[in-house]
Amino acid sequence: MSSLFNGIVLGELSLQNRVVVPPMCQYMATDGLPCPWHDMHYGGLGISGAGLVIMEGTAVEAIGRISLGDLGLYNDEQEAALKQMLARIRTYSTAKWGIQLAHAGRKASSQVFDAPYPVPPEEGGWIPIGPSAIAHSDRWPAPTEMSQAEIARVVESFTDSARRAGRVGFDLIEVHAAHGYLISSFLSPVANRRTDDYGGSLENRMRFALQVASAVRAAWPSHKALGFRVNGTDWIDGGITIVESIKLAKALRLAGVDYLAVSSGGNSRQQKLPPVVPGYQVHIAQAIKEGSGIATMAVGMILDPKQADEIVASGRADLVAIARATLDDPRWALHAAQALGEEIAYPRSYWRTTGKTWPGYKLVHPPPGAETGMQPAQPGRR
């Protein structure tokens, strides 16, 4: 049996395989509500063959949205709409379902579809909030520095959204603490210049993240999994480092977090990213796993089934997140299983497309790496 299609237990949540469709913003919501696009998009991912699908970054309050097109889970209408949508999808999906709870912080009030400009208040936007009054870039307004009372309010917003996620019926929550959004900006010295209990030392910079983790864990049923997406590094001098991220991982594990999705960057426009080659972030997930003992999910340019299987088989990460490759091929996990010689259930209506029933299958899906020549990423590769 391949390692990729061997099951795993996160906390008390059992997954049928290690393939994860991670959160990917769709920017198609109105007032935080899902629309028919979300039904189509997540319905398709629900029959992808992945063991876990995590819905896109979903704001815990209105000013926590990246854009006006973000999903939200901070009112009754949003809760009811997500509950109805998830129930429809589960009619056919055997995957476990998660949701990423997020607050965009100083990167909020953006134009949709990653346009690098803010929406001004007179056009429906707002002045963002952050740990310090430091703008994300020269195009962005300086955020309002949060008081300790505002920090407590946002912690409660995460807690309230976690309770709502439980009522919706999700199996897993992933808290977004990467990419320069609110929790990530508290963790990074690049964005956090506070002089109170939430700034300065790593212990202080971790305080907000740990308060969110403890509050969400207390509000989230013990049999359901809790994860955090974190930055392993900011890729900039003076930013968060892998050594610091290992200390954060240890603290999050003690707070009841079951896994970390390990990403990087996004806190500074001056970041110096390495070449974005297949598996370029896997070594960070490996370092955090080995240094803290927490389960990790590797993300970033994982494209090939053999590459993904090797990452898990070598123990460098426990799960792999297949993001844009799944948008490109919504049956990535099903095709990966066949490429690795695994038997995996296809949706009944698609049974004619399996390798056993369709003579054209091998022509459409040649052996892994045959066209690209990609090789599994090696330990330490950047």
Would 277 be classed as within a structural domain?
yes
Overall average pLDDT of the 196-221 stretch: 98
Would 101 be classed as within a structural domain?
yes
pLDDT of residue 365: 87
Task: Please say if the pLDDT value at position 373 is more than 60.
Answer: no
Overall average pLDDT of the 289-308 stretch: 97
Lowest mean pLDDT among 67-76, 150-159, 252-261, 359-368: 359-368
Split at pLDDT 50, 70, 90, the class of 152 is very high
Mean predicted lDDT score pLDDT of the chain = 94
pLDDT in tens, 267-297: 998 999 999 999 999 999 999 999 999 999 9
Domain carrying residue 300: 8-364
Task: Please say if the pLDDT value at position 375 is more than 50.
Answer: no
pLDDT of residue 381: 34
Lowest mean pLDDT among 115-124, 205-214, 227-236: 115-124
Split at pLDDT 50, 70, 90, the class of 114 is confident
Task: Please say if the pLDDT value at position 216 is more than 80.
Answer: yes
Split at pLDDT 50, 70, 90, the class of 343 is confident
DSSP 8-state assignment for residue 74: S
pLDDT in tens, 33-61: 999 999 999 999 999 999 999 999 999 99
pLDDT of residue 378: 45
Give the active site residue among 181, 198, 280, 346.
Answer: 181
Overall average pLDDT of the 73-96 stretch: 97
Would 372 be classed as within a structural domain?
no
Would 237 be classed as within a structural domain?
yes
Q: What is the CATH number of the domain that holds 163?
A: 3.20.20.70
Task: Please say if the pLDDT value at position 250 is more than 70.
Answer: yes
pLDDT in tens, 3-23: 999 999 999 999 999 999 999
Overall average pLDDT of the 128-136 stretch: 96
pLDDT of residue 269: 87
Would 24 be classed as within a structural domain?
yes
Would 374 be classed as within a structural domain?
no
pLDDT of residue 67: 96
Would 339 be classed as within a structural domain?
yes
Overall average pLDDT of the 328-351 stretch: 93
Q: Is 117 a catalytic residue?
A: no
Would 82 be classed as within a structural domain?
yes
Task: Please say if the pLDDT value at position 369 is more than 90.
Answer: no
User: Number of structural domains, the chain?
Assistant: 1
